[in-house]
Amino acid sequence: MDKVLCSVATRGRYQTTLPLTLNAIINQTKKVDKLVIFDDNDEPQDMRNELVYSYFFQMLTIKGIAWEWVYAGKQGQHYIHQMANGMGFDWVWRVDDDAIPEPNVLQTLFNYTHKNVGAIGGAILTPPFPVNSNNEKPTGKIELINREPNIQWSFIEKVKEVEHLHCSFLYRAGVHDYHLGLSRVAHREETLFTYGLFKKGYKILVVPNANTWHFKNPNGGIRSESNEILYGQDETVFNNLVNYSDKTIVILTGGMGDHIVFTHVLPDIKNAEIFTCYPDIVQGKSIAEAHLLFGSIDPWNVYIKMHQWKWKGSLEDAYRKMYL
Amino acid sequence: MIIISPYSKALKNGKTNAKNYPYWKELIELIKEPIVQIGIEGEEQLVPDFRKNLSLKELESLVNECRTWISCDSFFQHFAWDKKKYGIVLWSVSDPLIFGHPENINLLKDRNNLVENQFLWWEDTEHDANKFFNPSLVLECLNANFP
């Protein structure tokens, strides 16, 4: 049986919606194999001494659910989700700290974890929510993201393949990375992530009878940044990544030797769009342009990747793993 | 003619790069044929023929002329390998299984000398002459593999 990790990223909601979220997770009809709470608060607290939390922790133990409270790095929730993504589980159920899943949600989502499926989402309901008329059914296609309501914002009547999901969903772990080039607000992080799974050939599904109530809370929240500039930057990065989604974005930040090694991989990369430090070795656009288009270019740093992978193979094979 | 590429990239903190071979002078004395040193302005000249700041085209032409080459772990070992001209790489703390090419002769004294994290900057790694092959062994290897 595939193992499921539940990850909750939280900030500023110790005493509001987080306890409701945890209670809902603990009381799922399908138990998660592990619950990790990533605490991204500016002033994190030890919640073991809080009455309600201490009961939660005891309930988890009694029910045989492993759990961990991780003090996160305040870099944004995309970093948190990437940590969860790499924790060695088959699937990750990400639940926002103001989302209250009904008891059957995980079991329902899990029922669709077939081998070609990358992510499954249910309805994410914030009352009062619109009921879509037959003429206005959202498609879930990325090209319409700014022109139609999100398909998850209303009850879902039947299983449908879409191109992206939002908020809370179950996803196949370890097959696609979160885009860490976004700012701390991580605007559109889950859209980019699920669209990335879709572009890798996995099905992205929305399914009925998996309703999560979204207690949108103006206070706190993992995205509780008010910096409009950062939102704007992330929106630009999002649009550029989607615009380039039919290409393989290659950003070469290493030295001349690294570029030379990369030339042995390049012929195998389909539809490469290259940004390079040494255009006399590998032709392409400038690194400055890559920064403008995609924000931080760390996600394309092969040395960071090799470090994350605890790499023992050749540099050439690391490039192959990155780009092929 | 043999090319030598003695120096890895200079470190921002001014310390000696831990990948730089410490016995070049001794090794050069043992080699009884013309040597061309390649590198960049500011590097110590070790032989009379020191060609600095060559373009990639000039470098390629020189590589085509040489019998073989000896280099530390630097850009040059990749460049010459790419041109299918193989030579000797003198390793110390970086891992030839990651950054080297099996077509070259990779002289690593002891894998225990490799730094644990191969993917950080080299500024924090101390230079240690004991981590390199001694010159007579390099010469033996040169004669055996590139007679």
B144 in contact with A, Cβ within 8 Å: no
Measured CA to CA, the distance from residue A18 to residue A40 in angstroms comes to 13
Query: Which range, of A14-18, A22-26, A73-77, A290-294, averages the lowest pLDDT?
Result: A73-77
User: Residue A176: inside a domain, yes or no?
Assistant: yes
Residues A119 and A176 in one domain: yes
Q: Residue B81: its chain A contacts at CB < 8 A? A: 260
pLDDT tens digit sequence for B110-123: 999 999 999 988 88
**Structural domain harbouring A307:** 247-323
User: Residue A232: inside a domain, yes or no?
Assistant: no
Q: Please count the residue pairs, one from chain A and one from chain B, whose beta carbons lie less than 8 angstroms apart.
A: 42
Q: What is the DSSP string of B108-120?
A: -S-GGGS-S-TTS
Residues A62 and A16 in one domain: yes
User: Residue A142: inside a domain, yes or no?
Assistant: yes
CB contact under 8 A, A257 and B75: yes
- Give the pLDDT band of residue A227 (cuts 50, 70, 90): confident
Whether the CB-CB separation of A251 and A275 falls below 8 Å is answered with yes
Chain B stretch 95-114, residues whose beta carbon is closer than 8 A to a beta carbon of chain A: 97-99
Residues A219 and A184 in one domain: yes
Residues A152 and A287 in one domain: no
Sign of CA dihedral A261, A263, A266, A268: negative
Question: What is the mean predicted confidence (pLDDT) over A148-152?
Answer: 92
Tokens of A45: 């607290």
Whether A231 has a pLDDT exceeding 80, the answer reads yes
Residues A165 and A207 in one domain: yes
Residues A133 and A22 in one domain: yes
Secondary structure class of A65 (helix, strand, coil): coil
Whether the CB-CB separation of A292 and A279 falls below 8 Å is answered with no
Among B75, B98, B119, the residue with its CB nearest the CB of A314 is B98
CB contact under 8 A, B98 and A281: no
Measured CA to CA, the distance from residue A79 to residue A185 in angstroms comes to 11
Whether A226 has a pLDDT exceeding 90, the answer reads no
Query: Which range, of A214-228, A308-322, B16-30, B76-90, averages the lowest pLDDT?
Result: A214-228
Q: Which domains does chain B have, with CATH numbers?
A: 2-145 (3.40.50.2000)
Residues A40 and A170 in one domain: yes
How many folded domains does chain A comprise?
2
Measured CA to CA, the distance from residue A282 to residue A252 in angstroms comes to 9
Question: What is the mean predicted confidence (pLDDT) over A204-218?
Answer: 92
Residues A216 and A115 in one domain: yes
Give pTM, 2 decimals. 0.83
Measured CA to CA, the distance from residue A318 to residue B54 in angstroms comes to 29
Query: Which range, of A89-103, A231-245, A259-273, averages the lowest pLDDT?
Result: A231-245
Residues A188 and A260 in one domain: no
pLDDT tens digit sequence for B40-81: 999 999 999 999 999 999 999 999 999 999 999 999 999 999
B58 in contact with A, Cβ within 8 Å: no
Residues A61 and A168 in one domain: yes
Question: What is the mean predicted confidence (pLDDT) over A138-148?
Answer: 92
- Helix, strand, coil share (%) of chain B residues, nearest 5: 35, 15, 50
A263 in contact with B, Cβ within 8 Å: yes
pLDDT of residue A64: 96
- Give the pLDDT band of residue B17 (cuts 50, 70, 90): very high
CATH of the domain at A140: 3.90.550.10
User: Which chain B residue has its CA at the smallest distance from A315's CA?
Assistant: B98
User: Residue A268: inside a domain, yes or no?
Assistant: yes
User: Residue A307: inside a domain, yes or no?
Assistant: yes
Measured CA to CA, the distance from residue A124 to residue A72 in angstroms comes to 25
